[in-house]
A = this chain, B = another copy of it.
C-alpha cells in the first residue's frame, strides 16, 4: 500500500517534468544562459540558507552514526557553494548542443535536417553530495532537458534548498519551474519507482558508488547510462623509459586514489621487471601505498603482500596497487580485457608497433600511450562540464559533456512527395 503511494507520487513528479519539458526544450540559448546566471546569483545570495539546511543534514547524519568520509561529501562550505555557482556560469559559457546538425537534399527534392535535440526528461539518482543536484540541474537547463532528481536521504535538506533555487531561477527567467523536480521521499521504493517510469524518463543516470550503479543497471526498465566503475591498468612494456614509467605509475596511482580514473593494477613486462620493480617499490613506499604482487613479482620484491585472484578484479580506490609480471604484450591485453571495466588503460613504451597494437586491441573508453590514466575527464579532454564518465558503449563512451544529454531528430520538408 505504502509502495503504491510512493509509486504514484513519483509518477506524478515525472509526469509534471514531462509536461514542462516541452517548453524548456524549445527555449533559446540566451534564455537558458540567463537562467543559469540567475541560478548562480541565487546560490550566492542564499548561501546562508543553504548552509543552514546543510547543517541540519550534517546533524542528522552525525546522529545516525554516518562515517566521516560520507560526512565530508555531504558538507557544504562557502567555497563549495561558490563552486556550484561558478559551475553554473561555466555551463552558461559552453556552446549549446541543441540545434546543431547537418542537412542534405534527396534526389526527389526532400530536404532532410538531422539535428540534436534535448532528450526530454533526464532522471538522476545520486548519493550524499548535494553539489550533484546543482551540477545536474545546470547541465539539464543548458541542454533543454527537464530533470527528476532523487538524492540520498542524508542530503535531503540541502538538496531541497538547492533545487528550490534552481526552480526560482527558471521561474524568474520565464521558464517552467516544474521542469526541475526533486523526489523528497528517499526510501528505496522511490528510487525503484523512478527506474520503472517507461515513457516518462528518457534516460536515467546513476551517480555514485558501485552498489548504486549496479542496482540501477540491473533493475531499471528505462534507458540507463552506466558511469564510473574504473578498474584501470598501466602496462610497462619492455621498451619503456623507466623514469617515465615510474612518473606515470606514481601519478596514476597516487595523485587521487579515490577517483575512477586512478590506476589499480600495474602490469610489468618480465624483461624490464628486475630493473623497474625495485624503483616502483621505493616510490610506492614513500607514498605509503601497499603493493600486492603476483608470485613472480614476489621473487623480485619478497616483502610485498601476495595478490589473489580477487585483487585483479578490485577497484581499490585506495593506496593499494596490484602488480603482475607478464611475458608479452598480448598477455597484458588479455588480462586488461578480462578484468578491466572499459574505462582507462595505459601503456608506457617507445615501441611504435606495441603502442599501436595496445591502442587498437584494448577495449576501453580511453587508451593511453605514455600518459597517465588520470587524464580521463571532461575538463582535461576540453569538453567543459561533465555529466560523468560512461563505461558503456551505447550512446556515449568516456567523458560525457552536454552532447550526451541530447538525441537527434530528422526534420524532413517536402512539397507533396509520396513514395
List A residues at the B interface (Cβ < 8 Å): 22, 26, 104, 106, 110, 112, 119-120, 202-203, 218, 221, 223, 225, 241, 244, 247-248, 250-252, 255, 355, 359-361, 363-372, 374-376, 380-382, 392-395, 397-398, 407-419
Judge whether A372 and B248 touch: CB under 8 Å. no
Contacts of A248 in B (CB 8 A): 416, 418
Check A398/B410 contact, CB under 8 A, given A247-B418, A251-B419, A382-B106: yes
Check A26/B418 contact, CB under 8 A, given A366-B410, A367-B410: no
User: What's the nearest-Cβ distance from chain B to residue A37, in Å?
Assistant: 25
Judge whether B408 and A398 touch: CB under 8 Å. yes
**Could you name 23 residue pairs across A and B whose Cβ atoms are closer than 8 Å?**
A22-B361, A106-B381, A106-B382, A110-B371, A119-B393, A218-B221, A244-B416, A251-B418, A251-B419, A255-B418, A364-B409, A368-B413, A369-B413, A369-B414, A370-B415, A374-B418, A375-B412, A394-B395, A394-B407, A397-B407, A398-B408, A398-B409, A398-B410
Count this chain's copies in the assembly: 2
Check A412/B367 contact, CB under 8 A, given A119-B393, A223-B394, A394-B223: yes
- Dominant SS among interface residues on chain A: mixed
Judge whether A365 and B409 touch: CB under 8 Å. yes
Check A413/B370 contact, CB under 8 A, given A255-B418, A394-B223, A394-B407: yes
Shortest Cβ distance from A350 into B: residue: B415
Judge whether A412 and B369 touch: CB under 8 Å. yes
Contacts of A203 in B (CB 8 A): 393-394
Shortest Cβ distance from A109 into B: residue: B371
Judge whether B371 and A414 touch: CB under 8 Å. yes
Q: How many Å lie between the Cα of A363 and that of B25 in the bound state?
A: 11
User: What's the nearest-Cβ distance from chain B to residue A246, in Å?
Assistant: 10
Q: How many Å lie between the Cα of A365 and that of B376 in the bound state?
A: 32
Q: How many Å lie between the Cα of A241 and that of B415 in the bound state?
A: 10
User: What's the nearest-Cβ distance from chain B to residue A396, in Å?
Assistant: 8
Contacts of A247 in B (CB 8 A): 416, 418
